Amino acid sequence: MSSGRLTTNLCGIQMKSPVMAASGTCGYGVEMEGLLDWNHVGGVVVKGLSKEPMAGNAPPRLWETEAGMMNSVGLQNIGVRAFVREKLPRLAELPVAVFANVFGYAVEDYCEVVGVLEEAEGLSGYELNVSCPNTKHGGIFFSSDAGMLAELVGRVRAIARRPVIVKLSPNVAKIEPLAKAAEDAGAAAVSLVNTFIALAVDARSRKPRIGAGFGGLSGPAIKPVALRMVHEAWRAVRIPVIGLGGIISGEDAAEFLVAGASAVQVGTASFAEPGAVSRISRELEEFLKRERIAQVSELVGTLEMGESEK
């Protein structure tokens, strides 16, 4: 069991650790039983949920890169209603905070999914995956248009009694306006970064390595960029920032906290090591002990860059 050193309050939710399992990397959470030590995990974000079941993209869906991984799963999921019936009852029994990742291709899609989840028990909050094209507005991505993002967050916030976290994409010119738009529209926190759009090529076949062509790059290769964007978002908003992108050790997690994150999510590391989330949490606790830091919150936003204070 983690000591009180790691205890974290995120959007009013008490968690035993700031280290969480990221969406899309731990199934619906229940699949990780026996693989994760839940006593050392703060929360789990289930894979993205849509209003109807989705089959996902054609294989191959994953490709190991030099310093990470590309994926194009295509948001395969069983649909929100099947999730509530089949997965949530067991999830609600886990000793961690459970967040439902929600996505759609129109504002109404997100609202319908959240509306179904609002009728169910066992969730701590929602994480909106806004890295989707708005099909009602010519395919413009919610994540790249501050106005559309604000409309989406505001509409969801109006029906949600639980905290709403907005997961931001790094595929934008500047992250600050998007983080601020989410905050102003009522988001309780922002999480970043989602994956970078990337391409892997087989020179012999002259074809992409991923069935869908382009895929999302994650893993250690993106960590320096993710750290930069987390720090920029932290400076732009007053709500909590959740950092993710290439975390494979407790010290990696500490770096994100120093950059401004109040909590972190671990994703790609779990593909190589299913128990990575709990290991990283234990390593973070050891780091705090070595550095004689009594409480993990003391680390948040302590980066010294010779700039004016936030």
Helix pair angle (276-290, 250-259), 10° resolution: 70
> Half-sphere exposure of 268 toward its Cβ, with a 13 Å CA cutoff?
26
Angle, CA of 245, 246 and 252, to the nearest 5°: 105
Asked if 122 and 64 touch (Cβ cutoff 8 Å), the reply is: no
Cβ atoms < 10 Å from Cβ of 30: 17
For residue 132, indicate whether it is catalytic: yes
Q: What is the DSSP letter of 36?
A: B
Which residues are CB-neighbours of 18 under 8 A, at least 6 positions away? Answer: 6, 8, 10, 42, 253, 257, 261, 262, 263, 264, 284, 296
**Catalytic annotation, pick one of 11, 26, 111, 132:** 132
Distance CA 134, CA 213 (A): 21
37: Cα separation from own chain's centroid: 20
Nearest to 102 by CA among 167, 44, 56, 148: 167
For the chain, helix, strand, coil in percent to 5 are 35, 20, 40
- What is the set of active-site residues? 132
